[in-house]
Amino acid sequence: MKPLFDFLVKLFILSVILWTVILFGPVSGNIQLPAVFLAWILVFVNTIGGYLLFEYAFEKESAVFTRVVFGGVVVRLLILMFAVAVVMIRKMVDIDQFVFSLFAFYCSYVILEILGYQKKNKQKKNAA
């Protein structure tokens, strides 16, 4: 479980860095925290779900791995799109800040997720 722990530590560190910039950055006075927090929580849960699906499918045969990982991407994106649609239709938060934050968090966290995949693959390759 070491790669999972490493991934969670990096996820925590990235979250702390991003929230420090959000709270104490140059434009922190103009930010509506509920919109940013909602975007962050959606992307955070999405990223953890994606990595856990990858961990589950990693040692499986190729067909199962492909189904779980790529099917998981589709399901996660559909759930995320549905959640975004609900937030936007109900106007739960400031839409502009929510969408911008969602995009920024998603780009940051998907890079971390891919790096986690690569590290797990590298560890398996080095062990073989």
What rounded mean pLDDT belongs to the chain? 90
pLDDT tens across 103-112, in order?
Answer: 999 999 999 9
CB 57 within 8 A of CB 65: yes
Select, from the ranges 1-5, 23-27, 107-111, the one with the highest average predicted confidence (pLDDT): 107-111
Q: Report the SS3 class of residue 90.
A: helix
Mean pLDDT, rounded, for 58-64: 90
Domains: count for the chain: 1
| The two three-digit tokens of residue 74, written as one number | 């589709």
Residue 25's domain comprises 2-127
Question: Rounded CA gap, 20 and 76, in Å?
Answer: 27
